[in-house]
Structure 1
Amino acid sequence: MNNDDTPKIPLAGTARTDDAVAAVKAVSSQIYEFTGVPGKASEPGPGVKACEGRDPEKYFQVYHPWNFAPTSAADNDVAMKHLKEKLSTGGWVVKDDYVDNSPNKNRNLVADNDSKKMSVSVVAYSKDDRPSLGIAVTSGCYRVPEGETIKHS
């Protein structure tokens, strides 16, 4: 198998689906705290999907896309600044920080935490009518314990 065939998503260990979902929720809560400004997070919780390039009966990944809307529109850029600072500490490493090609030139931030086997992607929609941050927390690939099945939410 050459490097192009190697799955790109790291293994996160063995876990029951509920435990892996709880771990991703905990990271999302930490990201919420990292914003450092008052605001509201959207409601939908994490989902479970197959791990690309791995046996879908044995491996799964948890993803949690959500939106953070600061109470004050002016706080959107402040929240992004706080995220960049906090996502450079505590095992987090900023992997990318760039402005995208959209008409609004949204700022994007991507950070990984190797010890937690988690990644977060943040897009600052600062020029929208209601400024917000689009946040997506994604886990590495978990292996379901022997004899258990993956619960897809």
Structure 2
Amino acid sequence: MKIKQGAAVLVVSLALTALALTALGGCGLTGSGDADPGSDGIPLAGTSTSRDAAAAVEKVSAELRGLTGVEGKPSEGLAGVTECPGRDPARYFQVFHPWSFHPASDDRLDEAMERLKAALPAHGWKVARYGPDTSQNKNLSLTADNGEKKYGVSVVQMKKNDPPKLSLTVVSGCYEVPEGKEVERF
């Protein structure tokens, strides 16, 4: 029974990650003007190996964690690699980092979300959306992108979870793998 339950959680997690990647791909992660029509408007983030890009997206997540200004515990989710829509999958990729943040005190969840919303613009992020989502719980959600760094973030405040948390997914623009290297998928 545990294996089936674990598999179901993995499927739901992957579905939510795919949904967040789809949402972020169109949320304005295109402000730099260096995307081409074949890339679904997703900007180029530069040249990198998959491992280095994964480390960079995890660093962005850590910076976002700091912007909450609230004590708590982040999950230990690792970054992943996915195809870059409209580009050659042997040469181009995106990285994403799904993770969550549990404030030390449940009553600080609102504060963490408000601080994040207020701090993002001062750190190069443009908030594209802030308000209740379309779920049954009407979770407060925030979508923002950083045109300079070529990252987007989706944050969902999940007050009705046990324990309550912020669920975050950070996604990059399209990277091109260096000449002579291959895209690693993980």
TM category (shorter chain) comes to over 0.9
Instruction: Find 1:29's aligned residue among 62, 67, 87.
Output: 62
CA RMSD of aligned residues (A): 1.4
Task: Calculate percent identity across the aligned residue pairs.
Answer: 49
Written as runs of structure 1 = structure 2, the 5 A alignment for 1:67-78 is: 67-78=100-111
Instruction: Check whether the contact 2:132–2:140 (CA below 8 A) recurs between aligned residues.
Output: yes
Aligned residues: 151
Instruction: Indicate the SS of the match to 2:102.
Output: strand
After TM superposition, the score normalised by the length of structure 1 is 0.93
Question: Who is 1:100 aligned against?
Answer: 133
- Unaligned stretches of 5+ residues in structure 2: 1-35
For the pair 1:111 / 2:114, whether they are aligned, the reply is no
Runs of 4+ in 1 over 2 A off after TM superposition: 3-6
Instruction: Indicate the SS of the match to 2:114.
Output: helix
Bigger mean CA offset, 84-93 vs 58-67 = 84-93
Bigger mean CA offset, 126-135 vs 70-79 = 126-135
CA distance, structure 1, for counterparts of residue 82 and residue 110 of structure 2: 32
- Unaligned stretches of 5+ residues in structure 1: none
Written as runs of structure 1 = structure 2, the 5 A alignment for 1:13-92 is: 13-92=46-125
Tell me which protein shows more helix as a share of its residues.
2
Bigger mean CA offset, 66-75 vs 127-136 = 127-136
Q: Partner amino acid for 2:125? A: W
| Displacement after TM superposition at 1:4 (Å) | 7.4
After TM superposition, the score normalised by the length of structure 2 is 0.77
- Provide, for residues 124-143 of structure 1, a one-character-per-residue CA deviation record: whole Å limited to 9, x for no partner: 01233311000000000000
